[in-house]
Amino acid sequence: MAIIGIDLGTTNSAIAYLKGEKPEIIPNIEGGRTTPSVFQMSPNNEMVIGQNAKSSMPGFPDRTITEVKRLMGSDETVMVAGQEYRPETVSAHILKYLKESAEEYLGEAITEAVITVPAYFSDSQRKATQKAGEIAGLKVERIINEPTAAAIAYGLENMDKNQHILVYDLGGGTFDVSVVEIFEGVVEVKASAGDNSLGGVDFDNTLADWIIQNFKQQEGIDLLDFGSAVEINQRRAKIKLEAENIKKNLSSQTNVNINIPFIAVYDNAPISVNLNITRDEFEDLIRKMAMKTLTEVDKALEDSNLNIDEINEVLLVGGSTRIPLIQKLVEEKFGKKAKKDINPDEAVALGAAVQAGIKSGQIDTTKGIMVIDVCPYTLGTEVVKNIGGQIVPGFFDPIIPRNSTIPVSEKKIYYTADDNQTSVDINVFQGDSQYADQNIFLSNVMLEGIPSAPMGQEPIEVKFSYDINGTLQVEATIVSTGKRASSVVKTKAGTMSEQEVKLAKSQVEKDYQQSELYKEVKSVITRGERMLKSAEGLEKEKLASLLQNIKFALEKNDRELVRKYEEELTDLLIELV
């Protein structure tokens, strides 16, 4: 049974598998090599995922969710057609669609996947991704970093080379950079850095704002300041979709006309957007964000102890690297042409498929490729410090430094902070600030039974272990007695409980069944609605009543009742023909 590789992206997702010893992209059910990460529940309660959902988003903004990856690992929820969803559940719908696409293409059941995440995803974001896979019916034991996956795809084709490469991964919603050494079939990540809130959608939003502001200057009309809330949302969605197309066109053209016909009715007259933007103007809009990526590049180079001259190749990954300004900035920084021989939209999924092959044993690591990754962030605990004779709490002490090769275990000795202290609460944080509250709180481990003694007399050993799947285990030991407490860190904030996962599975299954049920009767409803336009009198009343009844039965997900009304509607349509 195949294990597939999935690039679950902010704006687009892709799936791949290992065919022989080479990774190949699996097209989705519609034949696309990538799938827009868009989830929609249509007015007929039909679940729509991918390009069709994206294309119809301006008409149904309140029924469509995009960019949900940015909410992963948080407790935020989204509303779709009046129904509340957690980010994991929306992602699960997208994963389920990708899973079914793979099953149809390969002709076998798929139960396991390797899923990629941004290198700088936090512990809670990684766990949320695993939960989404579980809800979708996939076992996700291996989570790998997106730039690492891209490096694997590149490394597979360049196993005979010994070189340092820099993977510059600018996707739809996140930016990652990794410095990687390739030698004798080994792909070793030396350092990673990134920004989880910087990507192509930020360029789209900036351009959409520019369109709105320039239209206001030109026509004196604020497109977001009149009409109902639904109309304003529809307008904004239409402008944003157009902004994405303009951004793409400006990669091959130096001047683009912005034409959005009949965007609204204002003072009883239809209005249209007709503007012009040059590539230079667009580059000025995004330059500050683009420059931020180079700051992360410098950070990764510094952590890898390499300088620019020691980087042999720069690999561009992610759709946003097609923007000429991005290519220019990267190539000017490194003084060389960046490599573009791997499709930037597909490289991450292909690398995930190779990792899946390593996991399944399809690829023998003793003869083929081996991957060595890093923990991209610093992990540590909260401590007190003696400042001017006073004990001051709230400081952060690193235990595993960022960019440590994984798996890794590190330990430190601490001492009791109070006289006769019999217990200690070890708070676990992720981040680089010297102050604990400015870092991300992950969890805590309680150790009790410390012998009573004066302050600073009882040593406590704290050990952190971080494995290849990003799982952190914390162990605390009272040195004098050997008593220990340990726990696998289960991030408290933004992570679903087992009960929530169970409920989400039921929700996904219900949505799926409801959608499938609608598809089964869609043709008879369409025929009925078409005939309703020309029907008259009693016939029209009977037809309208049956259409209302079948839609009500669909909302209730009552298969038996749907079948009853479908038969009655079919019989009536035969009579009316």
Question: SS in 3 state form for 182-243?
Answer: EECCEEEEEEEEEECCCCHHHHHHHHHHHHHHHHHHHHCCCCCCCCCHHHHHHHHHHHHHHH
Q: How far is CA 83 from the centre of its chain?
A: 21
Structure tokens at 309: 């001259």
- Which residues have a catalytic role annotated? 7, 69, 146, 169
Q: Report phi then psi at 14, rounded to 5.
A: -145, 155
Helices 498-532 and 559-576: crossing angle in degrees, nearest 10, is 10
In sequence order, what are the beta bridge partners of 17? 24
Residue found by looking up tokens 């080379």 in the block: 161
Radius of gyration of the chain (CA): 27
Residue found by looking up tokens 């989705």 in the block: 28
Residue type, 325: L
Helices 347-360 and 146-157: crossing angle in degrees, nearest 10, is 80
Structure tokens at 242: 């157009």
In sequence order, what are the beta bridge partners of 277? 256
Helices 229-249 and 200-219: crossing angle in degrees, nearest 10, is 110
